Structure 1
């Protein structure tokens, strides 16, 4: 996911897909404030998961699931922090290129 083409304070988030070319990628318009709001929600969910894990029996299945969940939320928060810190990338509209390499055999 990457912020691209700023328009009136909004960014289009590019989601990777199996197709090639940027024109085929689906986009979603989000603002940095939307991302911050999602981060607030994730922090609260992480705090709840930590509180529940602290009250669960040591070595239980629930503790292991919550530990993995907390690790996943932490990773997601760090990725969103990274996206907010990056400057938007301006992608040029590219058509078919004459300099494109021929297909591999």
Structure 2
């Protein structure tokens, strides 16, 4: 049998929740959601990875925006004026930072309070 040691420090509650999710997964049960991230935060992280994958595969920022934000095709001037252009730049910037080691902060992310 597997065993787990949970330190009883301030992060103990988060560790207990993570252990509950692991245990549910190991036994084929429904996995409780991770409550440390909001739905909006999870969506942004998913979009960051989508953007980076597209960029790495050679897609232009405009093509990435069409997929991620489900946009119609835009001409050059529409793209230059689009808020999605700035959003894609920010998502790519943050994805690069996450890949360069920023993911560690996500792993240490603690709920407020």
Bigger helix fraction? 2
TM-score, normalized by the shorter chain, greater than 0.5: no
Q: For CA contacts below 8 A with separation 6 or more, give which structure has more relative contact order.
A: 1
Higher-Rg member (1/2): 1
Bigger strand fraction? 1
TM range (shorter): 0.3 to 0.5
TM-score under structure 2 normalisation?
0.33
